[in-house]
Amino acid sequence: MARRKARRGPRARAETVSWTPPLGAVQREPRSRWRPGYWLRHPAFSAFLVGCGVLVVVNCGVGELVDREHLRVRGETTSAVVEKARKPRRGGVLIRVRITTPRGEVVRPRLIDTPEHLPAPGDRLAVIYDPEDLEYAYRPGYESSMSGPLWLIALGVVPGLLYGWYLRRTWSHWRDQAEDWRHRRPVPRLGERQHPGPRRRPRA
């Protein structure tokens, strides 16, 4: 009996050592951060887009301020003849005038600051133009009005500040959602309406 137990002992130990627990769920590698599913969910991407939009709008406003300053400094007032006046189907008003510069050059700029009533071809209008930019003409007084460019700058800055405040409160939520998608955890679909709180509860 002792021998039989001695023979079975090493074999039982060998069976115990060679046993392995069953494998659980396979852990796949995280997705790449360069995939659209990640960066479309990450708040840095939306911050980049909004920042670009703000810069474009503010740049347009600043550009208008610069153009008006140039017009105020070197603008020349003259009488122009309306050559074309019509309302395109897409909206707005298109008016082209003919101007003869002091050097005898005939130019046909587009009138930007259009009058309330559409003029007829052949009518005369008092306009101001920049000798160094003969593509556009304006009505007198256009260069002294700052409401347009200031409204344009405010239109870019105010929504940008509000969206920055929103992102500051919800940044961790959107960042964690992008990381959940990257690590293959369930997340809402892109475009699905959500109501994120200022802070997300930590995952268990």
The model's pLDDT over 20-69, given as tens digits with 9 standing for 90+, comes to: 545 555 567 888 888 989 999 999 999 999 999 999 999 999 999 998 89
Q: Choose among 193, 151, 161, 147: nearest CA to 47.
A: 161
pLDDT above 80 (res 6): no
Is the predicted pLDDT of residue 100 greater than 60, yes or no?
A: yes
CA–CA dist 123, 135 (Å, integer):
20
Nearest by Cα to 67 from 144, 125, 140, 126: 144
Structure-token pair, residue 124: 């005369």
Q: Please report, rounded to a whole number, the percentage of residues in the chain having pLDDT higher than 70.
A: 81
Average pLDDT, stretch 124-146? Answer: 89
Q: Is the pTM of this model over 0.85?
A: no
* Rounded Cα–Cα distance for residues 30 and 32 (Å): 7
Q: What share of residues in the chain are helix, strand, coil (percent, to 5)?
A: 45, 15, 40
